Amino acid sequence: MQSNVKDRAVIVTGAASGLGRASALAFADAGARVFAVDLNEDGLAETRDLAKGEVATFATDLSDAANCQPVIDKAISQFGYLDGLCNIAGILKVMPLAKITPETWDLIFAVNVRAPLFLSQAAIPHLTGRGGTIVNIASATAFAGYAYLAGYTCSKAAIVQMTRSLAMEFIKTDLRINAIAPGGVNTPMTKSIEFAEGMERELFMRSMGVRPTAEVEQLTDIILYLSSPDNTIFHGTCLNTDDGFTAG
């Protein structure tokens, strides 16, 4: 998949770990100017140390909506312009219905949906008029029921619809906004899954694909392509990158 992100200034959230880190490193490797954002300051520093190219870091808690505008302001003062926003930060809570509290539900939505919305709101005035891009990370679980993931699956379905709705709102501009919906990916998020007492492992595992979990490098090429001016066709799309998970 050909992409050309050289010199493009791109914000990557969730850049301290997993898919966000891999994306930040891939952008930097391809000559982009990366503004790496995450809650985890130490993880961001590791990402910066691993990078072969330009990576500036900014630690902030995206569950607070008030922290979104400052992310864009800092990126603009760092680079002077902005070409891309990748909303990759996310949280997963595996829990039975009885254990979901209003606070947990709100936290999932604050990180997985509200932050991408308010980061987009602040970024779009800078992105339009220069072929800017937004890439959101949804999930295959947006399209299939999944035991013990009611909050997460709803948040991922919401980001698919947010992607489509903003794509329609900005269809007369040169902005391109898309999402990808991965199946299982080999990251700290998947490794951290724990089964609380009373949860039936079988109900959770039955939704797993027969194929192995993906590696982050299989997804970063697609994220770079969707962030590239070479992408002249995808807009408002959610690409299923789930190796068959939602096919049947």
Contact 91, 112 (CB under 8 A): yes
Q: Would you count residue 116 as binding ligand NAD (CB under 6 A)? A: no
Among 12, 27, 38, 132, binds ligand NAD (CB under 6 A): 38
CB of 1 to ligand NAD, least distance (A): 19
**Site for ligand NAD (CB under 6 A): which residue of 6, 190, 203, 211?**
190
Piece of 34-42, 45-53, 68-76, 163-171 that binds ligand NAD (CB under 6 A): 34-42
Please identify which residue in 57, 133, 187, 227 interacts with ligand NAD, judged by CB under 6 A: 187
Catalytic residue status for 81: no
Residue 152 annotated to the active site = yes
Query: Going residue by residue from 79 to 98, which x/- string records binding to ligand NAD, judged by CB under 6 A?
Result: ---------xxxxx------
Residue 163 · residue 238 · CB < 8 Å: yes
Distant-in-sequence, close-in-space partners of 155: CB < 8 Å, separation ≥ 6: 108, 109, 112, 113
Nearest distance from C-beta of residue 173 to ligand NAD, angstroms: 25
Q: Which of 3, 9, 11, 14 binds ligand NAD (CB under 6 A)?
A: 14
Q: Which residue has the tokens 């770990």?
A: 17
Find, among 134, 118, 107, 10, the residue nearest to 69 by Cα. 118
Tokens of residue 104, six digits: 């947990």
Residue 11, strand partner residues: 35, 85
Whether 124 and 170 have beta carbons less than 8 Å apart is answered as yes
By annotation, the residues acting in catalysis are 152, 156
